[in-house]
């Protein structure tokens, strides 16, 4: 089965949710999403890094340079308090939308 496209705005929510586990670099964020989704969601660099820049501009995440576990320099992202509030709002909207779609799909 071909990997599904993410709905607009979903990537931001997934990145914010991943960062609730603690600071992480871009590759680590993408790997976590892939692993937790059981390989269903593969986030490419062309999508991930623009999303991280967008989140930085909105001040939903902060970033600083640090060393990875393999001793490489990387930018580590951390969710901010504003980002946590945004995540809660996005999760609520997402759950509402999923429930609404489920109602339509279950109807005869």
Give residue 7's pLDDT. 67
Domain span including residue 47: 10-106
Where residue 47 sits, what CATH number does that domain have? 1.10.10.10
Which residues are CB-neighbours of 10 under 8 A, at least 6 positions away? 94
User: Is 63 part of a structural domain of the chain?
Assistant: yes
User: Is 5 part of a structural domain of the chain?
Assistant: no
Radius of gyration of the chain (CA): 15
User: Is 3 part of a structural domain of the chain?
Assistant: no
User: Is 77 part of a structural domain of the chain?
Assistant: yes
User: Is 96 part of a structural domain of the chain?
Assistant: yes
Q: Mind listing the pLDDT tens digit of every residue in the chain (108 residues)?
A: 555 666 667 999 999 999 999 999 999 999 999 999 999 999 999 999 999 999 999 999 999 999 998 999 999 999 999 999 999 999 999 999 999 999 999 987
Task: Select from 12, 80, 3 the least CA-distant residue to 41.
Answer: 3
User: Is 100 part of a structural domain of the chain?
Assistant: yes
User: Is 35 part of a structural domain of the chain?
Assistant: yes
Q: Give how many domains the chain has, as a whole number.
A: 1
User: Is 62 part of a structural domain of the chain?
Assistant: yes
């Amino acid at each position: 089965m071909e990997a599904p496209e993410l709905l607009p705005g979903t990537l931001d929510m997934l990145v914010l949710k991943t960062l609730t586990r603690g600071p992480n670099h871009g590759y680590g964020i993408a790997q976590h999403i892939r692993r937790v989704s059981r390989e269903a969601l593969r986030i490419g660099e062309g999508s991930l890094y623009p999303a991280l820049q967008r989140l930085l501009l909105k001040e939903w995440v902060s970033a600083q340079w640090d060393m990875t576990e393999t001793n490489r320099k990387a930018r580590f992202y951390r969710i901010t308090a504003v980002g946590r509030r945004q995540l809660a709002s996005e999760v609520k909207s997402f759950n509402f939308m999923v429930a609404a779609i489920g109602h339509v799909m279950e109807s005869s």
